[in-house]
Structure 1
Amino acid sequence: MNPPNPSDAPAAGAAVSRCPVAHGGPDGVTRLYGEGAAGDPYAIYERLRAEHGPVAPVLLEGDVPAWLVLGYRENRRVLENPRQFTRDSRVWRNWKEGRVEETSPLIQMVGWRPDCVSQEGEPHRRLRGAVADNLQAVAGRGIRRHITHFANKQIDAFASDGHADLVSQYAEYLPMLVLTRVFGLAESEGRQLAVSSVHVVKGGEEALVHNDRIVKILGELAERKREEPGSDFATGLIEHHAGLDEKEILNHLRLVLIAAHTTTSNLLARVLELVLTRPSRMAGLVSGQLNVSAVVEEVMWNTPPLVVCPGRFATTGLELGGKQVKEGDFLVLGLAAGNLDPEIRSGAAADLQGNKAHLAFSAGVHECPGQGVGQAIIETAVDVLLHRLHGLRLATDPDDLTSTASSWEARLDRLPVEFTPHHP
C-alpha cells in the first residue's frame, strides 16, 4: 500500500461531492450540513485547518454549535481520554439547557441510549463485552459462506447484462443482506432496513421516521427470538451472561445494524472505486500480488466510511488545539481530516504501508468492535466480484464519479462498470 500525500486526497476516489456540506452560518461559522453549501468536504476541512488550526468551530443541523477536531493528535487525545471527553451526551450543555429538540436529527446519532456507545466505565465494559462476544461468535459461524452466497446472488441479477452500477446493485445492499442472516431476520427485510439505516445517518427530516421503522422491526425480532432462539446475534444478546434487559437488547440491535451496514456499504463502494480507478490495484488483486486487506487499509486512510464521527462531550473546561473548550461542549471527530493531517502525511511519516494507525474505526475504549465482520464482508465481496466478472472495467471517466455528502459521511453516488456478460 502506498497512499498519496494529502495534496492528492481523497486517493480512493476521484469522486467529487455533488451535494457539498458547508456554508456560512451565524457570525461566519461554517455549517457542516445543508443543500446550499459550497465545496467538497475534504476541501472544507483543509480550509478550516488553515483558518483555525487543528480544532475549528462549526455548526451542525439546526445550527447546533460544535468543535470539529481536525488534527490527528488532537483526535487521538479526545478518543483516548474518556474522563475528559465522554460519549455520554447527558452532560451536553446545549441539550441540558433545552437548545436541542428531541426531534432533532442529531439525537439519532448522539442522543443518550442504554447502549455501550453512550456509557463509560463499568457499564460500558459490561455492555460492550456482550456485543463483542456475540460479534466474535457470529464471525466464527461461517460468515464468509453467507457473504459468498449473497454476493453471488446479487451478481446473478446482472451478470448477463454486461453492465451494472456497483453501488446500487451491489455495495448498497450486500452488507445488510448478510446482516439479516447474522441477526436472524428475514432476507426480505434487508432492503428496507438498508434504506432506513442510510437515512438515519444522513439526517434530515426523515431520520426519525426511518429510525422508528428500524426499531419496530428489531423489536419484533427480539420478541420472536425469546420464543424461538437460534444461533444468531439477537439470540446471543438475549442469552448473554451480562444479563441485558429488554431496552438494552433492542438498542444494541439497532446500534450494530445501523453502524455495521452504513460503514461497510460505504467502505465497500470506496474499495471498488479505488480498484477500478487505479489499474495497478486491479492488476495486483487479479495476479495475487496484492491482498484486498491492503487496499482496504489504503481506503481507510484516505476516504474512511465516516468522514466525521459523532461525538464527544467535554467533562471539564480545557485547552485543545489552541482552543478553549468549555465543560459540556460538543466535539465531533474529523476522522478523514485527522488521517490527512499534514503533520503525519509529509516527509518520512507519509509512508503508511502496513500502518493501521488510521482513525477510520475510531480509537480508545469506543473503537469499533465489529471491524472483523466488516472486513470479512468487504474482502469476500471483492474477491467474489473479481472472480465472477471477467473484463471488469469502469464505464465512465473517473472524473465523472460523484459523491453525496452529509455531516457524517460522503457516499459514492454510482459506480458504472462494464464486463463480459455471462449467464449464471
Structure 2
Amino acid sequence: MAGPPPGCPAHGLGPGGLRRLYGPEAENLSAVYEELRDEHGPVAPALLHEDVPIWVVLGHSENLHMVSTPTQYCRDTRQWTALQDGTIKPDHPLMPLVAWQPICCHAEGDEHLRLRGAVTGAMSTINHRGIRRHINRSTQHLVNKFCEEGRADLVAQFAEHLPMAVMCQILGMPDEYNDRIVHAARDMLKGTETSIASNAYIMDVLMRLTARRRAEPEDDFTSHLINHSARLNDEEVGQHLRVILMAAYEATANLLANVLRLVLTDPGFRAQLNGGQMTVPQAVEQSLWDEPPFSTQLPYVAKQDTELGGQRVRKGDGLLLGIAPGNVDPRVRPDLSANMMGNRSHLAFSGGPHECPGQDIGRAIADVGVDALLNRLPDIQLDCDEAELRWRTSILNRHLVELPVRFEPRPKQDVTAKPGHLSVPAQRTDWQVGIGQPEPAAPVPSPQPSAPPQAAPVPAEPARPMGAWRRFLRWWRGY
C-alpha cells in the first residue's frame, strides 16, 4: 500500500504512529521537536534511525535532572535494551556513536572517577596562553589562504579547519592535520554508510599516536594522558583521544560557523560587537543558547523504572539529551529574542558528572578565532542573501553548509615569526618630558650685524615608539 502523500498529517510517522528523527521527513528537526512538545509535553516518544525507539527530553529542567541524577540515569549503553535485544544491529549508522567503549563517558562510579580523572588531569597540563597564541597563528595562516581573493567560504575554508588544526596540536600530532582528517571527522558524524570507514581511519591515526607517545613521551595531552596515575591501557587512551578529538572538533566547528553567521546576518548583533556593548566571548555564549553546536546527545539509559516529565520510563529505555529543544523551552525562555548575555545556564556542554571537560578549549578557539578574523578582515560581508544559506541536519546537530563572504582583498601576513622574538626599538637614554628629541644642528655662521634675527628652527617630532601595552598585545595575539 502506498504511503501517505507529502503534507499529510501521517507523513513522517513510523511504527506506533511515532515521529521519526531522521530521513527526509525530519529535515527541520526544530519544528519536529516543537510538535512533540505540543503533543506530549517535556518528554516525548520518537524513533531513531531504523525505527529504534527513544525518549526525547525536551524540557530544560527535565534535561538537567536527567544528567545530574546518576542513580537513575547513566550513559552505559550496555544497559540499553535496544542494544541488548538486537534492535540496534552492528551495522546501524549510529553504531560508532552508541557502541559501548572503555571511556569515561560510558563509565560509572569508581571507574568513571578513574577515567575522568585521567582526562581532567591531562587537561590541566594544557598551556592555555600558549594555545591561544597557536589559535591566533592558525587563524592568520588560514586567512592567508584566501585574503588575496576578496572572497571565501568561512565554513569550508575556516570553521572546519581551525578546530582540527588546534586539536592536532594539543594532542601532539600536528603533522596529521590535513584535508583527509577534516573530511573523515565531518563524515563520521553524519550517520551515513561511510561513517564506519571514517571512524576506522580516525582510530588508526590515534592508535599510532598512542604507540609513539608510549615509546617516546613529549609535553602534549596524549603523553600526559598515558602517564597519568590512572594507568590507562592503549585502548583506553585511543578511545579517549577519539571522543575528545571528535567532540571538540565538531562542537567548535559548528560554534565558529554559528557565531560568524550571527555577526554577518544580524546588524544589531554586529553593532553591539563593534560598539563595545558586547564582547566576542559574550557573543559566543549567546550563540550557545540560540544555536548550540550539538543539538542532542545520545543516549542516556534509565537504570530503573522511573518517571520523567509525566512519562513512565522503563528500565533499559534510551533517552535523548535534548540540548537544542531544552535551550528554547518556553518555561525558561518565554521570549526567544531576549538577550541571554552573561547567562551560562544553557545545555550546550551538558551537565552533571558527564559535563564536557574541554569546554574552555572550545570557547578559546571560538573567542580568539572570531576576534582575529574580524580584526584581519573588518569589512567582511555576507556574499549572498541570508535566505540562501543552507544547513545539513542530523540527529546530532544542524551544520551550516557554507558561509560565503566578500571583503577588500588584502596581502598575506607573515605567520612564521614567533611571539617574543619581535624586534623592539632600543631604549633611549635621553628622554625629555614634553618635547621631542632635537636633531643635531649644523654649524651656523655668525650673522652680519645688519642681518635681521632668524627664528630658531622647530625640531621635528620623532615617530612615537611602540608602547609596552601595544607590544604586549602583539605578543599575546601571536603577531
Give the TM-score normalised by structure 1. Answer: 0.91
Matched, 1:176 2:164: yes
Residues of 2 paired with 1:60 and 1:196: CA distance? 23
- Tell me which residue corresponds to 1:285: 273
SS in 2 for 1:137: coil
Match of 2:358 among 327, 348, 370: 370
Q: Which has the larger radius of gyration?
A: 2
Residues 61-140 of structure 1 mapped to structure 2, 5 A cutoff: 61-140=49-128
Q: CA deviation at 1:84?
A: 0.5
- Higher helix proportion: 1
- Tell me which residue corresponds to 2:236: 248
Q: CA deviation at 1:141?
A: 5.8
Contact 2:29–2:393 (CA under 8 A) maintained in structure 1: yes
Residues of 2 paired with 1:30 and 1:204: CA distance? 20
- Structure 1: gaps spanning 5 or more residues: 1-21
Question: Which digits, 9 at most, give the CA deviation of each residue in 1:344-380, with x for residues without a partner?
Answer: 1127996633211000000111000001100110001
Residues of 2 paired with 1:97 and 1:348: CA distance? 42
Residues of 2 paired with 1:139 and 1:304: CA distance? 26
Residues of 2 paired with 1:179 and 1:172: CA distance? 12
Contact 1:135–1:373 (CA under 8 A) maintained in structure 2: no
Residues of 1 paired with 2:386 and 2:223: CA distance? 44
Matched, 1:33 2:34: no
Q: CA deviation at 1:251?
A: 0.7
Match of 1:335 among 317, 323, 330: 323
Residues of 1 paired with 2:342 and 2:136: CA distance? 27
Contact 2:74–2:302 (CA under 8 A) maintained in structure 1: yes
- Tell me which residue corresponds to 1:8: none
User: Which deviates more, 351-360 or 381-390?
Assistant: 351-360
Q: CA deviation at 1:104?
A: 1.6
Residues 10-29 of structure 1 mapped to structure 2, 5 A cutoff: 23-29=12-18
Residues of 1 paired with 2:22 and 2:337: CA distance? 32
Q: CA deviation at 1:193?
A: 2.1
Q: Which amino acid aligns with 1:228?
A: E
Residues of 2 paired with 1:187 and 1:395: CA distance? 33
SS in 2 for 1:230: coil
User: Which deviates more, 371-380 or 22-31?
Assistant: 22-31
Match of 2:177 among 181, 184, 189: 189
SS in 1 for 2:124: helix
Residues of 1 paired with 2:404 and 2:336: CA distance? 37
- Tell me which residue corresponds to 1:387: 375
User: Which deviates more, 363-372 or 388-397?
Assistant: 388-397
Q: Which amino acid aligns with 2:255?
A: L
SS in 2 for 1:257: helix
Q: Which amino acid aligns with 1:31?
A: R
Q: CA deviation at 1:215?
A: 0.5
Q: CA deviation at 1:287?
A: 3.8
Residues of 1 paired with 2:116 and 2:28: CA distance? 35
Which structure exhibits the higher relative contact order, with contacts defined as CA atoms closer than 8 Å and separated by 6 or more residues?
A: 1
Matched, 1:269 2:257: yes
Residues of 1 paired with 2:168 and 2:129: CA distance? 14
- Tell me which residue corresponds to 2:458: none
Q: CA deviation at 1:33?
A: 1.0
Question: Which digits, 9 at most, give the CA deviation of each residue in 1:262-297, with x for residues without a partner?
Answer: 111011100100111112322333343321111111
- Tell me which residue corresponds to 1:204: 192
- Tell me which residue corresponds to 2:216: 228
Residues of 1 paired with 2:330 and 2:285: CA distance? 19
Contact 1:29–1:59 (CA under 8 A) maintained in structure 2: yes
- Tell me which residue corresponds to 1:213: 201
Question: Which digits, 9 at most, give the CA deviation of each residue in 1:98-138, with x for residues without a partner?
Answer: 22112222221122111000001111111111111222322
- Tell me which residue corresponds to 1:360: 348
Question: Which digits, 9 at most, give the CA deviation of each residue in 1:135-158, with x for residues without a partner?
Answer: 232243610111111111100000
Contact 2:328–2:336 (CA under 8 A) maintained in structure 1: no
- Structure 2: gaps spanning 5 or more residues: 1-10, 413-479
SS in 1 for 2:307: strand
Match of 1:47 among 8, 20, 35: 35
Residues of 2 paired with 1:193 and 1:129: CA distance? 28
Runs of 4+ displaced beyond 6 Å? none
Contact 1:225–1:234 (CA under 8 A) maintained in structure 2: yes
- Tell me which residue corresponds to 1:15: none
Residues of 2 paired with 1:416 and 1:307: CA distance? 24
Contact 2:289–2:346 (CA under 8 A) maintained in structure 1: yes
SS in 1 for 2:45: strand
SS in 1 for 2:156: helix
- Tell me which residue corresponds to 1:238: 226
Contact 1:105–1:207 (CA under 8 A) maintained in structure 2: yes
Residues 397-416 of structure 1 mapped to structure 2, 5 A cutoff: 397-416=385-404
- Tell me which residue corresponds to 1:146: 134
- Tell me which residue corresponds to 1:325: 313
Residues 38 and 223 (structure 1 numbering): CA distance in 2 closer, same or farther, change over 3 Å?
Answer: closer
Contact 1:75–1:338 (CA under 8 A) maintained in structure 2: yes
Question: Which digits, 9 at most, give the CA deviation of each residue in 1:16-71, with x for residues without a partner?
Answer: xxxxxx9221232111111x225512111111111111111111112111001111
Residues of 1 paired with 2:174 and 2:128: CA distance? 21
Contact 1:139–1:373 (CA under 8 A) maintained in structure 2: no
- Tell me which residue corresponds to 1:419: 407
Q: Which amino acid aligns with 1:101?
A: K
Contact 1:271–1:296 (CA under 8 A) maintained in structure 2: yes
Residues of 2 paired with 1:334 and 1:344: CA distance? 14
